[in-house]
Amino acid sequence: MQMTAVVELCFVLLLFLLFVSAQAVDRSNFKTCDQSSFCKRQRELKPGQSPYRALLDTLELSDSRLTLQLINDNNKVRLLLELYRLQGNMTRVKINELKPIKPRYEVPDVLISDPITEALSVVSQDDNSLVLSLGGNEQRLIVSAQPFRLDIIEGPQVLMSLNSRGLLAFEHLRVRKDTISHKISSTVGSMWDSIKSVFSSNSESEETTGQQKEEQPTSEDGQIKEEEEEKPGMWEETFKSHSDSKPNGPSSISLDFSLPGVEHVYGIPEHADTLRLKSTENSDPYRLYNLDVFQYELHNPMALYGAVPVLISHSTERTMGIFWLNAAETWVDISSNSPDTVSSDAPQTNVRWVSESGIIDVFIMLGPKPADVFTQYASLTGTQSFPPLSALAYHQCRWNYNDQEDVKAVDQGFDEHDIPYDFIWLDIEHADGKRYFTWDPIKFPTPKDMLKGLMDKRRKLVAIVDPHIRVDSGYRIHNEIRSKNFYVKNKDGGDYEGWCWPGNSGYPDFTNPEMRAWWASMFAYDQYEGSMENQYIWNDMNEPSVFNGPEVTMHKDAVHGVWEHRDVHNLYGLYVQKATSEGLIQRSGGVERPFVLTRAFFAGSQRYGAVWTGDNAAEWGHLKISIPMCLSLGLVGISFCGADVGGFFKHPSAELLVRWYQAGAYQPFFRAHAHIDTPRREPWLFGPENTALIREAVRQRYALLPYWYQLFYNAHNTGQPVMRPLWVEYPAEVITFSIEDEYLIGKDLLVHPVTDEGATGVTAYLPGKGEVWYDVHSLQKHDGDQSLYIPVTMSSIPVFQRGGSIICRKERIRRSSSCMENDPYTLYVALNPQGFAEGELYIDDFHTFNYQKSKQFIHRRLSFSNNSLTSRNLAPDAQFSTESWIERIVVIGGSRPSSVSLISADGVESALEFEFSSNPAVLTVRKPSVSAAADWTVVLRREQFINVYKHLGVRKLGDFWVNYLFKRKDSDWSIFNEKRKLKSAM
Amino acid sequence: MTCVHLLLTLVFAVSLGTPVEVHRPRGVPLSKKPFYEENKPFTCLDGSKTILFDQVNDDYCDCKGGSDEPGTAACPNGKFHCTNAGYKPTFIPSSRINDGICDCCDTTDEYNSGAKCENTCKELGRKEREVLQKMAEITKEGFLLKQQLIEEAKKGRGEKQSKVTEMQDNKKQLEEKVEALRTVKETAEQPEREAKERHLKAWEEQKAAIRLVKDKAKMAEAFLELDDNADGLVSVSELQSHAELDSDTDGTLSEAEAKGLMGGVEQVDTATFESVWENIKDKYHSESQPEEPAPVETPVDEVKEPVVDNESEPYPEDISEEEDEDDDDDDEYHEEDEKAPPTMKTPEKSQEDEEAMPPYEADTQVLIEAAQKARDDFEEAEKALREMDDQIRNIEKELSFDFGPNAEFTYLYSQCYELSTSEYIYRLCPFNRVSQKPKFGGSETNLGTWGSWSGPENNKYLSMKYEHGTGCWQGPNRSTTVKLTCGKETMLTSTSEPSRCEYLMEFITPAVCQEPSNIDLSAHGHTEL
What single string gives the DSSP state of each residue in B275-328?
A: HHHHHHTTT---TTSPPPPPPPPPPGGG--PPPPPSS-----S-SSHHHHHH--
Q: Rounded to an integer, what is the distance from CA A51 to the centroid of its chain? A: 38
The pLDDT score that the predictor gives to residue B523 is: 45
Chain A: give the shortest CA distance to residue B121, in Å. 18
pLDDT at A26 over 50: yes
CA angle A621, A626, A627 (to 5 degrees): 110
Chain A environment of B50 (Cβ under 8 Å): 973-974, 977-978
Asked if B422 and A885 come within 8 Å (Cβ–Cβ), the reply is no
Which residues in B have their CB inside 8 Å of a CB on A?
1-2, 4-5, 41, 43, 49-52, 55, 58-60, 62, 73-74, 76, 93, 95-96, 99-101, 113, 311-313, 315-316, 319, 422, 472-476, 496-502
Higher per-residue confidence, A222 vs B59: B59
SS3 A755: coil
- Interface probe for A, chosen from B1, B42, B52 (most Cβ of A below 10 Å), is B52
A382-439 confidence digits (pLDDT tens): 999 999 999 999 999 999 999 999 999 999 999 999 999 999 999 999 999 999 999 9
Asked if A883 and B4 come within 8 Å (Cβ–Cβ), the reply is yes
For the ranges A590-604, B297-311, B376-390, B444-458, the one whose mean pLDDT is highest: A590-604
Q: How far is CA A195 from CA A174, A598, B70, B445, in A?
A: 10, 44, 86, 69
B72-99 confidence digits (pLDDT tens): 999 998 999 999 999 999 999 999 999 9
How far, in Å, CA of A799 to CA of A752, rounded?
6
Chain A environment of B319 (Cβ under 8 Å): 13, 17
Report which DSSP code applies to A430.
G
Catalytic option among A273, A427, A615, A823? A615
Chain B environment of A677 (Cβ under 8 Å): 472-475, 500-501
Chain A environment of B62 (Cβ under 8 Å): 973
- Interface probe for B, chosen from A408, A846, A917, A977 (most Cβ of B below 10 Å), is A977
Confidence of residue B245 (pLDDT cuts 50, 70, 90): confident
pLDDT at B192 over 50: yes
Chain A environment of B54 (Cβ under 8 Å): none
How far, in Å, CA of A909 to CA of A956, rounded?
9
A320-342 confidence digits (pLDDT tens): 999 999 999 999 999 987 654 44
Q: Which residue(s) pair with A743 in the sheet?
A: A751
Report which DSSP code applies to B220.
H
Contacts for A73-77 with beta carbons within 8 Å, 24 or more apart?
Answer: A75/A172, A75/A224, A75/A225, A75/A228, A76/A215, A76/A216, A76/A221, A76/A224, A76/A225, A77/A170, A77/A172, A77/A225
| Reported pTM | 0.80
Asked if A26 and B313 come within 8 Å (Cβ–Cβ), the reply is yes
> Are residues A339 and A347 in contact, defined by beta-carbon separation less than 8 angstroms?
yes
A66-111 confidence digits (pLDDT tens): 999 999 999 999 999 999 999 999 999 999 999 999 999 999 999 9
Out of B62, B100, B500, closest to residue A973 by CB: B62
User: Sign of torsion, CA B397 B402 B403 B407?
Assistant: positive
Residue A540: active-site member: yes
The answer to whether A679 faces chain B, any CB pair under 8 Å, is yes
How far, in Å, CA of A82 to CA of A103, rounded?
16
How far, in Å, CA of A818 to CA of A388, rounded?
10
Mean pLDDT of chain B: 80
Asked if B74 and A678 come within 8 Å (Cβ–Cβ), the reply is no
Beta-strand relationship, B502-509 and B491-499 = antiparallel
Confidence of residue A977 (pLDDT cuts 50, 70, 90): very low
How far, in Å, CA of A86 to CA of A92, rounded?
7
For chain B, what are the domain ranges?
Answer: 161-281, 410-509
Nearest CA in chain A to B73: A812
Look up the CATH architecture of domain B161-281.
Answer: Orthogonal Bundle (1.10)
Asked if B60 and A926 come within 8 Å (Cβ–Cβ), the reply is yes
The answer to whether A850 faces chain B, any CB pair under 8 Å, is no
Beta-strand relationship, A394-396 and A497-500 = unpaired
The answer to whether A979 faces chain B, any CB pair under 8 Å, is no
The topology (CATH level 3) of B410-509 is Cation-dependent Mannose-6-phosphate Receptor; Chain A (2.70.130)
The whole-number average pLDDT for the span B400-419 is 92
The pLDDT score that the predictor gives to residue B257 is: 78
How far, in Å, CA of A501 to CA of A429, rounded?
10
Nearest CA in chain B to A18: B315
How far, in Å, CA of A11 to CA of A26, rounded?
17
Asked if A406 and B99 come within 8 Å (Cβ–Cβ), the reply is no
Nearest CA in chain B to A975: B50
SS3 B32: helix
Chain B environment of A926 (Cβ under 8 Å): 60
- Interface probe for B, chosen from A411, A883, A979 (most Cβ of B below 10 Å), is A883
Chain A: give the shortest CA distance to residue B150, in Å. 36
Chain A environment of B473 (Cβ under 8 Å): 21, 677
- A404 residue type, one letter: Q
A94 phi and psi angles, rounded to 5 deg: -120, 135
Which percentage of chain B shows pLDDT scores above 70?
A: 80
Closest CA to A37 of A334, A293, A180, A246: A246
Which distant-in-sequence residues (6+ apart) come within 8 Å of A453 by Cβ? A408, A411
Closest CA to B402 of B431, B427, B428, B433: B431
Nearest CA in chain A to B44: A974
The answer to whether A400 faces chain B, any CB pair under 8 Å, is no
Closest CA to A526 of A483, A567, A583, A480: A583
Query: What interface predicted TM-score (ipTM) does this complex get?
Result: 0.85
Residue A127: active-site member: no
Out of A677, A973, A981, closest to residue B474 by CB: A677
A547 phi and psi angles, rounded to 5 deg: -55, -35
pLDDT at A306 over 50: yes
How far, in Å, CA of A21 to CA of B43, rounded?
64
A553-599 confidence digits (pLDDT tens): 999 999 999 999 999 999 999 999 999 999 999 999 999 999 999 99
Higher per-residue confidence, A446 vs A7: A446
Out of A28, A442, A815, closest to residue B422 by CB: A442
Q: Rounded to an integer, what is the distance from CA B384 to the centroid of its chain? A: 28
Number of Cβ pairs < 8 A linking chain A and chain B: 105
**What is the rounded radius of gyration, in angstroms, for the C-alpha atoms of chain A?**
31
> Are residues A275 and A738 in contact, defined by beta-carbon separation less than 8 angstroms?
yes
- Interface probe for A, chosen from B40, B51, B59, B99 (most Cβ of A below 10 Å), is B99
**What is the rounded radius of gyration, in angstroms, for the C-alpha atoms of chain B?**
48
How far, in Å, CA of A929 to CA of A913, rounded?
12
Chain B environment of A885 (Cβ under 8 Å): 2, 5
The pLDDT score that the predictor gives to residue B287 is: 67
Out of A21, A822, A973, closest to residue B315 by CB: A21
The answer to whether A813 faces chain B, any CB pair under 8 Å, is yes
The pLDDT score that the predictor gives to residue B281 is: 78
The answer to whether A18 faces chain B, any CB pair under 8 Å, is yes
The answer to whether A811 faces chain B, any CB pair under 8 Å, is yes
Report which DSSP code applies to A328.
S
> Are residues A677 and A615 in contact, defined by beta-carbon separation less than 8 angstroms?
no
The pLDDT score that the predictor gives to residue A968 is: 41
Report which DSSP code applies to B352.
T
Nearest CA in chain A to B314: A18
User: Sign of torsion, CA B149 B153 B154 B159?
Assistant: positive
Nearest CA in chain B to A242: B311
How far, in Å, CA of A887 to CA of A810, rounded?
9
Element (H, E) at A945: helix A945-950
Chain B: give the shortest CA distance to residue A710, in Å. 22
Chain B: give the shortest CA distance to residue A406, in Å. 8
Closest CA to A367 of A301, A411, A313, A330: A313
- Interface probe for A, chosen from B38, B39, B50 (most Cβ of A below 10 Å), is B50
Report which DSSP code applies to A338.
-
Please, which residues 871-900 of chain A have a Cβ atom closer than 8 Å to chain B?
A: 883, 885, 887-888
The whole-number average pLDDT for the span B66-74 is 96
pLDDT at A154 over 70: yes
Q: Which residue(s) pair with A922 in the sheet?
A: A892, A917
Chain B environment of A974 (Cβ under 8 Å): 41, 43, 49-51
Out of A28, A418, A676, closest to residue B93 by CB: A418
The whole-number average pLDDT for the span B416-430 is 93
Asked if A18 and B315 come within 8 Å (Cβ–Cβ), the reply is yes
Report which DSSP code applies to A109.
S
How far, in Å, CA of A277 to CA of A286, rounded?
9
Closest CA to A934 of A966, A902, A956: A902
How far, in Å, CA of A763 to CA of A775, rounded?
14
Count CB neighbours of B241 within 10 A: 13
Would you tell me the crossing angle of helices A370-381 and A705-718 to the nearest 10 degrees? Answer: 70
How far, in Å, CA of B102 to CA of A822, rounded?
17
Chain B environment of A929 (Cβ under 8 Å): 1, 5
Report which DSSP code applies to A508.
B
> Are residues A977 and B44 in contact, defined by beta-carbon separation less than 8 angstroms?
no
